[in-house]
């Protein structure tokens, strides 16, 4: 499977907004009302929002590109706001990891994860952490296979008026 991983730039905003909305809808449709889903997509994947995030040097988006098209993406940031416990370490949040469903099970997510870990290690991070919906069994298995464990902490992640709970997972990195 031939693809490259590159940091997204402002010129990727439209493609990233499309991929972000499509993959989020594919993942969470049926877990909330249609209205909640549409509102979440409108708020989080509109072109202005994605452009603002891409313009932030501290907000790291990486795209997996195949044949000139993005088929998956990673979002990484050193951001302790949702999980202050992490401030005792130099900690990198894996905010998003989404692969187009046509490419699940093909090693693309694994390569994106390896890329994230290398980047974390090169930048002296001690730990990577992430939130995963408690019922997202495929993602949970993938993270377990990637060496993440449950921190025992949870976080509310409502989609509109639909309450959902995320588990915080973490992986401590070898020096």
Ligand X SMILES: CC(C)(COP(=O)(O)OP(=O)(O)OC[C@H]1O[C@@H](n2cnc3c(N)ncnc32)[C@H](O)[C@@H]1OP(=O)(O)O)[C@@H](O)C(=O)NCCC(=O)NCCS
Positions touching ligand X (CB under 6 A) are: 23, 27, 97-99, 104-105, 109-110, 132, 136-139, 141-142, 145
**In the complex with ligand X, which residue's Cβ is closer, 54 or 116?**
116
Residue 18 C-beta: closest distance to ligand X, Å: 15
Nearer residue to ligand X within complex by CB, 29 or 88: 29
The residue among 50 and 64 lying less far from ligand X, judged by its C-beta, is 64
User: In the complex, what is the shortest distance from the CB of residue 175 to ligand X, in angstroms, rounded to a whole number?
Assistant: 26
Integer-rounded Cα Rg, in Å, for the chain is 16
Q: How far is the CB of 148 from ligand X (least distance, A)?
A: 10
111's tokens? 């390569």
Task: Tell me how far CA of residue 9 lies from CA of 2, 32, 63, 88, 125, in angstroms.
Answer: 21, 32, 10, 31, 24
CB of 99 to ligand X, least distance (A): 4
Q: Are the C-beta atoms of residues 40 and 61 closer than 8 Å to each other?
A: no
- Residue nearest ligand X, Cβ-based: 109
How far apart are CB 105 and ligand X at their closest, in Å?
A: 4
DSSP, collapsed to helix, strand or coil, labels residue 45 as coil
Q: How far apart are the first and last CA of the chain?
A: 31
Which residue, 48 or 152, is less far from ligand X as judged by CB?
152
Contact indicator for 22, 86 with CB cutoff of 8 Å: no
C-alpha distances out from residue 16 to 7, 23, 89, 104, 118, Å: 11, 10, 30, 18, 23
Closer of 57 and 105 to ligand X (Cβ):
105
């Amino acid at each position: 499977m031939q693809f490259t991983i590159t940091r997204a730039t402002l010129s990727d905003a439209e493609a990233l907004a499309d991929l972000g909305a499509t993959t989020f809808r594919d993942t969470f449709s049926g877990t909330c009302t249609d209205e909640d889903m549409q509102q979440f997509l409108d708020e989080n994947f509109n072109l202005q929002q994605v452009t603002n995030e891409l313009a932030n040097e501290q907000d790291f988006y990486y795209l997996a590109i195949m044949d000139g098209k993005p088929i998956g993406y990673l979002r990484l940031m050193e951001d302790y706001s949702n999980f202050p416990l992490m401030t005792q370490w130099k900690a990198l949040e894996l905010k998003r990891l989404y692969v187009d469903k046509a490419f699940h099970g093909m090693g693309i997510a694994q390569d994106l994860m390896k890329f994230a870990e290398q980047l974390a290690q090169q930048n002296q991070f001690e730990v990577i952490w992430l939130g995963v919906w408690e019922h997202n069994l495929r993602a949970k298995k993938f993270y377990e296979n990637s060496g993440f464990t449950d921190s025992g902490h949870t976080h509310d992640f409502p989609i509109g008026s639909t309450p959902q709970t995320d588990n915080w997972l973490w992986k401590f990195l070898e020096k």
